[in-house]
A and B are shown apart, each in its own frame.
Chain A
Amino acid sequence: MSGTVITTATTESPALPVPVRRVARSDLAARGEPFVWIMGAALVAGLAMITGFLGFVIYVGALTFWPQPIAVITTTQDKIIAGEAFRSETYKPRDEQLASASPEARAKITADLGIVERTLYRVGNYDLFGEDFVWIPSFDVKSTVYPKDMYFIERLEWGPFVGRVKELDVAGSKQPTPTLAQLRTAHAAAEVRRTEIEQLEKVEISEINHQIDDIRLGVRRAELEYGPGTAGAEAAKAEAAKETAKLEAQYKVLEQKVTALRQADEAVTVTLEAVDSQTKTLPLSRLVRFYPANDLTSADKWSIYGSRWLEFITAQPREANTEGGVLPAIVGTLTMMVLLSLAVAPFGVITALYLREYATQGAFVSFIRICVNNLAGVPSIVYGVFGLGFFCYIVGGSVDQLFFAEKLPNPTFGTGGMLWASLTLALLTVPVVIVATEEALAAVPRSMREGSLACGASKWQTIARIVLPRAAPGIMTGLILAMARGAGEVAPLMIVGVVKLAPELPIDLTAPFVHFERSFMHLGFHIYDTGFQSRNSEAGRPMVFVTTLLLISIVLMLNAFAIYVRTRLKRAYQVGQF
């Protein structure tokens, strides 16, 4: 057959191709090297953006808690200001602002084209001055000194105090200008009292309140069951009254204890003096941390730095979230991510399994696939609205009707909370998991499935024993992407359960230990809140960077863990494939 073709070709002797000498061309496509440069440049630009961003966050975040010296500045108008230098910038002052400058200074400014440097000082003492920060232009500075007796004092209320410690009053025995050691001893005792009061108020009294509330709800339940005014309800009411009386007696005892402690606590006071000689007397236990900022050794600085980080990670927030810790936000974020993974993994994997393994591949399945991919492009706030409407109001409302009727009209599950926020985010991230799982399933070699089927395994046995383990690393990749996306999402959370302040954690020691109906705090929302919603956004700004650093670290740690699991799965199921 082929022989015939050749014969015909030779007899007709067609024109042979004219030999063309091939030469190296100089255009870009023929050479290719310039494209390598373009690709390399794109990579460098991307890397520069990422490292620049991360470097900036790490730099600012890491320096925030480092103790700064306190400068005492005398201005040209003999006004005295004390504070930490916060940041500097250049600006162009108006002529009338330059009135106070000396003629030499003015000549220099004119020579500099009217540009002046100014520094923002954190002066603290919001209760005395009405402002936390003061701008000082460089020409306005007459002298700057760093006196050793200046203290930086963090308080429970009103933000930091910058000034001197004038007097320590331990229940009447007054001690003018106490030493640091004396202050520390007295403060340690004061802190013990503070924690004791907090323990009594927040744990024991709140426990009694909980019990009283439970009894009240028990009566409501009995009324709902037997009808109000019936014998059953009346009996429950009588029983409840007895129990409540008992608890109220306990409450009275505790309350007296708290009052006594409080009186003792308020007898120990400290008098602080600001640079303008205004004084402020407050109970010593109101101080959180104090240090002579200009008289610190390196070891002191490191210990302050460490204790601030420790407080940040382990304590409740103070001062409208601009001070103190973010423990509730950390716990909230982590719990939500775990719940989100638990919800999204089975749902996404099962959907992808059906689409890839069982559904007849055709126009309809392709259409569904397109829809799933498009879901990833829906604005996340829309998911938030959907979550609020569907999960909180419809599902949660029904749950309340069925199981928490006695608490109505106060919602239990019928409002934003941990569970609904996690499910909303699961819905948001499920397309990522479906797409990744489908790809992972498609990548399982046909020979594996055939080998299993030829052994007499059913389709499900093949999927469960061969296909899913092989696809597990790919599925893990999808989960990692979903978790990273879920961790960074804030907008939908704002309407389905994240709040500014939620001191009660979603997991705690009161039965039933997990409280997924509770609203919670989230690091992403915390960043938005401290940076843009607080009274003093200037003071909150460093916290934005610290919190960002923390959130990035948490996502990094979760991803590292997931990647570790994926590598182990890969080693177990994919290496050495013939």
Chain B
Amino acid sequence: MAATKTTKAAEQSAEFPPTAYHVKQGEQGISLKVEDFSLWYGQTRALWNNSLDFQKGVCTALIGPSGCGKSTLLRSMNRMNDLIDGLRTTGQMTLEGEPIYGATIDVIALRKRMGMVFQKPNPFPMSITENVIYPLRVDGVTNRKLLKEAAEGALRGAALWDEVKNRLNESALGLSGGQQQRLCIARAIAGNPEVLLMDEPCSALDPIATAKIEELIDELKGRYTIIIVTHNMQQAARVSDNTAFMYLGRVIEYGDTKSMFENPQAKRTEDYLTGRFG
């Protein structure tokens, strides 16, 4: 069994040349580090020995064709994949040098250090304010002044304050799709995270709402380490500093966005970026 696996891995590595690296270095060092990380859904292997570092305060995009494992990799970072039965991982990830995987890890504490924004806006059926302060509520904060300030700060941070300041106690479900997604971003940053994980945050939005979110991401990077999964290569080119291209569960090329889009090193990256497959 082990032998066949090794042979298979060897075959695969012959087909896939070693990852090309030309990453733009951030000024603050490394935030999240992925070390030889693999993942299986039951019998199906979804990630193959990936190693890459995410620079602090920098926006990194994960791109690649459907089913290449970019969302899986992202969801592994705050262990959202734990909810899935029959999941198995090897390798390690670290956040600021602290391990993410291990028997003794407090997953809830870990998730409090990372905000996450999902593909579809998922505001809770509560008022706008309650949505934003949800991370503080679960932390047991009851000081009303503190909560109010946090709500305003997060809504301003997500560029939503001016639109909702007169309807803070109305249901969040009455907002438009783009506003709901920015509300989710506000909720993600209200807990003051270190890393912001975004899983195709604009795929359910119209172009104007998308432009607003991209503008917002531009403002937020620097303050937070942002890792964004996107299907849209133009979006990756617009918002990210570094880009990782993934294919069939592997990172094929990881480098700074500008040079990667202009001069891709790997053949598959070039094929994907020029639209030959994907």
Contacts and interface: CB of A to CB of B under 8 A. Distances in A.
Interface of A: 361, 445, 447-458, 461, 465-466, 469-470, 572-578
Contact of B123 (A454, A456, A578): A578
A53 B215 CA distance: 66
Nearest to A466: B124
Nearest to B109: A456
A450 B173 CA distance: 17
Contacts of B80: 450, 453-454
A451 B138 contact: no
B111 A578 contact: no
B108 interface: yes
The 10 closest A-B pairs by CB, nearest first: A456-B112, A576-B173, A454-B116, A447-B122, A573-B125, A457-B138, A451-B122, A455-B135, A456-B111, A461-B138
A178 to B, nearest CB: 71
B55 interface: no
B22 interface: no
A578 B171 CA distance: 12
Given A447-B122, A454-B116, A457-B138, A578 B83 contact: no
Given A455-B187, A456-B112, A576-B174, A469 B125 contact: yes
A89 B120 CA distance: 70
B173 A361 contact: no
Contacts of A449: 83
Given A465-B138, A572-B125, A578-B180, A450 B118 contact: yes
B206 interface: no
A469 B124 CA distance: 10
Contacts of A573: 125
Nearest to A574: B125
Contacts of A576: 171, 173-174
Given A450-B80, A453-B83, A458 B138 contact: yes
B108 A458 contact: yes
B114 to A, nearest CB: 8
Contacts of B225: none
A450 B125 contact: no
Contacts of A466: 124
Given A572-B125, A575-B173, A453 B111 contact: yes
Label chain A's interface by main secondary structure: helix
Given A573-B125, A574-B125, A577-B173, A456 B139 contact: yes
B255 interface: no
Contacts of B108: 456-458
Contact of A455 (B120, B173, B191): B191
A339 B235 CA distance: 60
A365 to B, nearest CB: 13
Contact of A451 (B124, B137, B171, B191): B124
Given A576-B173, A578-B120, A455 B111 contact: yes
B122 A465 contact: no
Contact of B184 (A451, A461, A577): A451
A33 B230 CA distance: 47
Interface string B83-125: 1010000000000000000000000110110111010111111
B134 A455 contact: yes
A574 B171 CA distance: 10
B240 interface: no
A578 B176 CA distance: 8
Nearest to B114: A454
B130 to A, nearest CB: 9
Contacts of A465: 124, 134, 137-138
Given A361-B85, A575-B173, A454 B121 contact: no
A448 B173 CA distance: 13
A450 B174 CA distance: 21
* Among A451, A454, A458, A573, residue most surrounded by chain B Cβ atoms (within 10 Å): A454
* Among B112, B118, B120, B125, residue most surrounded by chain A Cβ atoms (within 10 Å): B125
30 contacts: A361-B85, A447-B118, A449-B83, A450-B80, A450-B116, A450-B118, A450-B122, A451-B118, A451-B123, A451-B124, A451-B184, A453-B111, A454-B78, A454-B116, A455-B111, A455-B115, A455-B138, A456-B109, A456-B135, A457-B134, A458-B138, A465-B124, A466-B124, A469-B125, A573-B125, A576-B171, A577-B173, A578-B120, A578-B177, A578-B204
Contacts of A461: 138
A573 B80 CA distance: 24
Nearest to B135: A455
Contacts of B114: 454
A451 B199 CA distance: 12
Contacts of A452: 124, 134, 138
Contact of A447 (B112, B120, B134, B138): B120
A127 to B, nearest CB: 68
Contacts of B116: 450, 454
* Among B111, B116, B122, residue most surrounded by chain A Cβ atoms (within 10 Å): B122
Interface string B176-213: 01001000100110010000000000001000000000
Interface in B14-50: none
Interface in B55-94: 78, 80, 83, 85
Nearest to B82: A453
B111 A448 contact: no
Contacts of B124: 448, 451-452, 465-466
Nearest to B117: A454
A570 to B, nearest CB: 10
A576 B128 CA distance: 14
A578 B125 CA distance: 11
Contacts of B78: 454
Nearest to A459: B108
Nearest to A447: B122
B122 A448 contact: yes
B11 to A, nearest CB: 17
A450 B83 contact: yes
A575 B85 CA distance: 31
Contacts of B111: 453-456
A547 to B, nearest CB: 43
A454 to B, nearest CB: 4
Interface in B204-247: 204
A499 B56 CA distance: 77
Contacts of A453: 80, 83, 111
B83 to A, nearest CB: 7
Nearest to B75: A450
Given A465-B138, A466-B124, A454 B115 contact: yes
B15 to A, nearest CB: 13
Contacts of A575: 171, 173
A385 B162 CA distance: 66
